Amino acid sequence: MQNINEIWVYLSANPLLHLTLTLLAFQLGNFIYLKGNKNPLLNPVMIAVIIIVTILVTTKTTYQTYFEGAQFVHFLLGPATVALAIPLYRQFEKVRQSAIAILVSVLTGSLTAILSAIAIGSLLNGSELTIISLSPKSATAPVAMGLAEQLGGLPSLTAVMVMLTGILGAMIGPFILNLLGIKDWAARGLAIGTASHGIGTARALQVNQVAAAFSGLAMGLNALATAILLPVIWHLLF
């Protein structure tokens, strides 16, 4: 018994354990996702998060300890965002042809995201902290967290809202777009990227190149739009 304890103490202090756990949980999530014919409801990020949170809670491991290992994966988000320039360049012609339509659509979408989140949060008596943290949820995490801090919200709670929004959009987005009868990959990608940033884009990358390019573009544009619109809206309303 003592020996197992010692091994556990050694392992849990080592970043390798939680790095490996992250990869294993994601591999399992991806396996389930692929077995289910890439059904969006079997989102691999969601499955991996559920597995890891369950393990961390049962072993009483803190998020800080987990993150010491997982940060190596987390770090790659930055370079990966830079790399989205490639799918975007591949669709450069298509983007240029409908530049104004893209700008107007993302701006409208951005306004919808901010206003509807604030309205519903307030109507259902959410605390001010919750509403501030909800309002930038469709923007990519670093922008959303910066905005929440600026407005007096909780950056770490905002990060949670951003992640949930991303997973939710990737899960239900395809069904909504099918219901609306939207077949154009550019419009589908743009909608997913505006509503659910990088997690939506990650899903789009596995489905269609055009959708991925437009989704990545929408993510970038919505980050800008939210950063400009949200502080103005917030000061007008409160």
Partner 1 sequence: MLNYLTLILCCHLAGDLIAKTLEISTPGPIIGMVLLFLFLVINGSIPKDLEKTTDAILNHLSLLFVPAGVGVMLHFKLMKTDWLPISAALITSTILTITVTALMMTWLTKQPAKPGNEPDNRTEKREGD
Among residue numbers 122 through 161, which ones bind partner 1 (CB under 8 A)? 123-127, 129-131, 134, 137-138, 140-143, 146-147, 150, 154, 156-157, 159-161
Report 179-198 residues binding partner 1 (CB under 8 A). Answer: 180, 182, 184, 186-188, 190-192, 194-196, 198
Rounded to a whole number of angstroms, the minimum distance from the CB of residue 84 to partner 1 is 5
Distance (Å, whole) CA 48 – CA 164: 13
Rounded to a whole number of angstroms, the minimum distance from the CB of residue 21 to partner 1 is 10
88 lies in the site for partner 1, by CB under 8 A: yes
- With a CB cutoff of 8 Å and minimum separation 6, the contacts of 212 are 87, 189, 201, 204, 205
- With CB under 8 A as the contact rule, the residue among 84, 148, 211, 229 that binds partner 1 is 84
229 lies in the site for partner 1, by CB under 8 A: no
Instruction: Bin 138: left if φ > 0, else alpha if -120 < ψ < 50, else beta.
Output: alpha
232 lies in the site for partner 1, by CB under 8 A: no
**What is residue 152's DSSP assignment?**
T
- With CB under 8 A as the contact rule, the residue among 70, 148, 151, 229 that binds partner 1 is 70
Closest Cα partner for 233 from 119, 103, 125, 100? 119
Compose the 15-44 pattern: x for residues touching partner 1 by CB under 8 A, - for all others: -------xx-xx---x-------------x
Q: Give the number of residues in contact with partner 1, rule: CB under 8 A.
A: 112
63 lies in the site for partner 1, by CB under 8 A: yes
100 lies in the site for partner 1, by CB under 8 A: yes
φ and ψ of 125, to 5 deg:
60, 40
Residue 118 to residues 73, 127, 136, 143, Cα–Cα distance (Å): 32, 11, 9, 17
- With CB under 8 A as the contact rule, the residue among 66, 132, 211, 234 that binds partner 1 is 66
92 lies in the site for partner 1, by CB under 8 A: yes
Segments in the chain forming alpha helices (H): 2-12, 15-35, 44-58, 63-75, 77-83, 85-90, 92-97, 99-123, 128-134, 141-151, 155-180, 185-207, 209-237
* Long-range CB contacts (within 8 A, 24+) of 76-81: 77/198, 81/140, 81/198
233 lies in the site for partner 1, by CB under 8 A: no
Smaller CB separation from partner 1, 3 or 127? 127
53 lies in the site for partner 1, by CB under 8 A: yes
Smaller CB separation from partner 1, 194 or 234? 194
